[in-house]
């Protein structure tokens, strides 16, 4: 069996879909003995071609025309990928994010992590973005199989895309740091110094867009202090800060200052993957009050590190 894989997010580990495909490419060859795996890459000069990191997986560069960025991605998904799958005589095309092609020259399997652009008004974007979401929904309905990462996402896909439950298959994530040894004292000390961490802290790690509920978390932390919580336990926010302060992605430093918490809330910036186990282990507790997640990888990672987790629950109607 020959499986062609849409590799648009290969080489983009900062994106969730990049993390997903990178970890799967590491493990798939060992799980699928006798299966040929070809990764379709956008362009013959892809950065990873010189030192391809996944033995057992064959890179297959495909040429893209000169187009604006948004059209380039759409062309890749709807024209270049199915053409390449047909040229390679693939038995299956797997798209590891929500963007299957409309023309499907062979059976297609698509991973739909969540339906955020469809269900959350703040994420629907303008006309072009909504048309793209509508196209993604239509192509998913045509796929032979849909993979997703939680029972909650499966319920959304069945309900809102109208795909029969028998065609939607839940494959749970594992923690990204699975198999790594627990950090020793030297590693803990190095990570504490690298990110200028206080002796005790609550940790948030993730994005800063509206559904992550940073405003609610900062209000809760203020209430913790007002009710006699130890001020020596700071609140540390890890992740790339928004490029500009907006309603969609509020700057947490402004939110903290508005509540008089400028000295209590610390931003440690982008956290390297290798540093995450130590960061979780150092935290007094991990706080993740998101309003909607397809899975919530950070919760699993914190639990794997043995750190107590404070997280949100879905509405009673969910």
At 97-149, the pLDDT tens digits run 999 999 999 999 999 999 999 999 999 999 999 999 999 999 999 999 999 99
User: What value does the CA radius of gyration of the chain take, rounded to a whole number of Å?
Assistant: 21
Q: Are 157 and 148 in contact (CB under 8 A)?
A: yes
Choose between 314 and 104: higher pLDDT: 104
Average pLDDT over residues 264-291: 95
Please give the pLDDT value at position 314. Answer: 66
Quick check: do 2-170 and 185-311 share a fold?
yes
**E-strand spans in the chain?**
2-6, 36-42, 58-62, 92-95, 108-111, 145-148, 168-170, 200-205, 233-238, 265-269, 285-288, 309-311
**Distance between CA atoms of residues 108 and 93, nearest Å:** 5
- The pair phi, psi for residue 133, each rounded to 5°, is -65, -40
**Token pair for 307:** 């750190």
| Percentage of the chain lying above the pLDDT 70 cut | 97
**Token pair for 43:** 């362009």
214-265 pLDDT, tens per residue? 999 999 999 999 999 999 999 999 999 999 999 999 999 999 999 999 999 9
Q: Under DSSP, is residue 125 helix (H, G, I), strand (E, B) or coil? A: coil
Choose between 245 and 296: higher pLDDT: 245
Would the pLDDT of 168 be above 60? yes
- What topology is assigned to 2-170 in CATH? Rossmann fold (3.40.50)
Please give the pLDDT value at position 91. Answer: 97
CATH match for 185-311 among 3.40.50.2000, 3.30.70.240, 3.20.20.80, 3.40.50.720: 3.40.50.2000
Where are the chain's structural domains?
A: 2-170, 185-311
């Amino acid at each position: 069996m020959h499986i062609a894989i849409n590799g648009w997010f290969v080489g983009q580990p900062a994106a969730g879909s990049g993390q997903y495909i990178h970890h799967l490419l590491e493990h798939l060859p060992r799980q699928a003995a006798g299966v040929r795996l070809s990764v379709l890459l956008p362009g013959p000069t892809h950065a990873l071609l010189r030192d391809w990191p996944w033995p057992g997986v064959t890179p297959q560069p495909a040429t893209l025309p000169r187009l604006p960025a948004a059209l380039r991605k759409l062309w890749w998904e709807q024209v270049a990928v199915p053409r390449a799958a047909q040229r390679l005589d693939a038995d299956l095309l797997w798209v590891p994010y929500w963007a299957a092609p409309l023309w499907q020259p062979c059976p297609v399997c698509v991973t739909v992590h969540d339906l955020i652009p469809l269900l959350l008004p703040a994420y629907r974007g303008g006309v072009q973005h909504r048309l793209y979401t509508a196209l993604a929904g239509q192509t998913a309905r045509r796929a032979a199989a849909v993979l997703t990462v939680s029972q909650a996402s499966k319920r959304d896909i069945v309900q809102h895309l109208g795909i029969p439950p028998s065609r939607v298959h839940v494959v749970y994530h594992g923690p990204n740091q699975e198999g790594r040894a627990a950090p020793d004292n030297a590693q803990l000390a190095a990570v504490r110094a690298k990110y200028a961490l206080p002796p005790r802290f609550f940790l948030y790690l993730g994005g800063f867009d509206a559904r992550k509920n940073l405003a609610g978390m900062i209000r809760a932390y203020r209430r913790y202090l007002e009710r006699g919580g130890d001020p020596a336990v700071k609140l540390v926010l890890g992740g790339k800060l928004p490029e500009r302060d907006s309603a969609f992605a509020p700057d947490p430093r402004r939110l903290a200052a508005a509540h008089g918490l400028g000295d209590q809330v610390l931003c440690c910036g982008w956290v390297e993957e290798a540093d995450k186990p130590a960061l979780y282990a150092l935290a007094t507790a991990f706080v993740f009050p998101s309003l909607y997640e397809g899975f919530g990888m950070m919760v699993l990672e914190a639990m794997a590190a043995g750190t107590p987790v404070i997280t949100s629950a879905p509405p009673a109607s969910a």
